Structure 1
């Protein structure tokens, strides 16, 4: 089991993200996730750094592997542009970059006034976008005239020596099947063994499975829950709302139905290493190969110190 750290672009400034990446590497974490958002989920998070600028900076600040968790290469940015960004990121990191992709959320993708397609169409668009990116990464002139996208006489000149892995996020059965069929890996934020088995049976056998969970380090579990509830009340918003609500204000309205106790159930809060070890074990039992932990609040150095002393030495 590899343990990594999740950089939350929605909550921390670019300087803080770089500080966290360096701290995670010193503590012994083995990789980085970084979110790709245009907006934070709620205004209290307060940040939304451009992920491709951050990856360029991270490539020079740390030697850890970096995965986007996750990029939506379908609406806000054309897949041909994502292909170029990912290729440059892979070159800058010396091959330490993996492109995590998913069907996205209206929160980030609606900003040009484009219609937000239903889930089945978004999956179609994601599959076509992956075809385009892999075609461009082969080098040479590339054209594509598909159902959702057109590419004419495009060529990416700056390419890495090795192919870029694409890890596909999926939560519903159709998305998990797509991940198994075309992905080089699978991404989820739930320790669900059934989804992992479905992914492996759909073609993902032998490919890496990445998971992640959120924490709020503080002197007590109660203080951690308060931080988590202030910064991430949206974590308790149920069902497909996270994919269809269009703005932080809408998430704040929906989050009025969420209680601090509900958030405490989805976050690992406080300074006790045991709940972290228990959560990591849940992912291990579900068949995950890698787990990334995200801290919320100002006490991320405390989380790094705890992991260095109490957690990472115990993970095989």
Structure 2
């Protein structure tokens, strides 16, 4: 049966609110919670970008049942992979083995802040492969010295490890990334309901004599009692979403995203994001992920001001409809 998650959207909510939403989402019945890991919001109007790892640490202590996950962390430029390995191990302990480390090759929006430039896509993927190998090695508890093409690690060792190894998931977008990452991690991450990705992943895992793993997707919705206002909110805060991954990865600032999305119309947003009070319509918007073979789907409820009412009054009945699909 498909598992349904809630997104702790760091770009649209402050840290205290996010921890409160994490508790509310567990109470509402979500199976897992994912957190974005951003230095900037996509758009100025979103207004937030707290440190995801501090939020997740607090959420790990405030919740009891739900799995927590980064969706996703980039362990290549802003973070050194040895530091990510330590953070993930600590969070695995704090969450009592409820944490999955979701990894990706990142966006310049978040990585440019350390002033090391933005590598080409092929280089970023090669860096991510090496980063995953470092993280895996450090999670064995052994001391590691590493001299690779992209990273150096000098006599590193993680002293606090959870009882179970932290599962790793990687964001993929096509055949090339599947071939690179399917043998290295446990689970697939993708934001498009692409059945070819799922089949390619399963084939690659089978060739490596590995289990299929989970396929974890994500989709925005914009519940609200008034459909027109919900569309307005989705347009204001999520019009960047229509650019596609290749655009999203290479724009450097919220101002750039504002410029790139200035011609996105409200009708465009309403055509791609289910908006309004109709829970059946919101649930049906998730069906393409189910049809494509995704095992897990995380919802993004657009807008900070709507989260409390959504979690208290809407999420439970919506989850019932989703599970009925």
TM-score interval (norm. to shorter): over 0.9
Moved more, 59-68 or 203-212: 203-212
CA contact (8 A) 1:101 1:168 kept: yes
The 5 Å alignment of 1:93-104 reads 93-104=95-106
- Does 2:30 align with 1:29? yes
3-state DSSP of counterpart to 2:199? helix
CA distance in 1, matches of 2:106, 2:318: 35
- Does 2:5 align with 1:4? yes
CA distance in 1, matches of 2:283, 2:91: 32
- Does 2:234 align with 1:228? yes
Q: CA deviation at 1:307?
A: 2.7
Q: CA deviation at 1:310?
A: 4.2
Unpaired segments ≥5 residues, structure 1: none
CA distance in 2, matches of 1:54, 1:46: 17
The correspondence for 2:254, drawn from 248, 251, 254, is: 248
CA contact (8 A) 2:279 2:318 kept: yes
CA contact (8 A) 1:5 1:31 kept: yes
The correspondence for 1:292, drawn from 295, 298, 302, is: 298
Report the counterpart of residue 212 of structure 1 in structure 2: 218
RMSD: 1.4
CA contact (8 A) 1:4 1:31 kept: yes
Report the counterpart of residue 164 of structure 1 in structure 2: 166
Report the counterpart of residue 320 of structure 2 in structure 1: 312
Task: Rate the CA distance shift 1:250–1:287 in 2: closer, same or farther, 3 A.
Answer: same
The 5 Å alignment of 1:104-115 reads 104-115=106-117
Q: Deviations over 1:222-280 (max 9, x none)?
A: 21110011112211224511111111111111011211111122222111111222123
Unpaired segments ≥5 residues, structure 2: none
CA contact (8 A) 2:129 2:181 kept: no
CA distance in 1, matches of 2:132, 2:264: 36
Report the counterpart of residue 192 of structure 2 in structure 1: 190
Task: Rate the CA distance shift 1:141–1:235 in 2: closer, same or farther, 3 A.
Answer: same
Moved more, 190-199 or 28-37: 190-199
CA distance in 1, matches of 2:120, 2:262: 26
3-state DSSP of counterpart to 1:151? strand
Task: Rate the CA distance shift 1:230–1:314 in 2: closer, same or farther, 3 A.
Answer: closer
How many residues were matched structurally? 316
TM-score, normalised relative to structure 1: 0.96
3-state DSSP of counterpart to 2:34? strand
CA distance in 1, matches of 2:245, 2:288: 22
Q: Deviations over 1:34-71 (max 9, x none)?
A: 00001111111111110110111001111211010000
TM-score, normalised relative to structure 2: 0.94
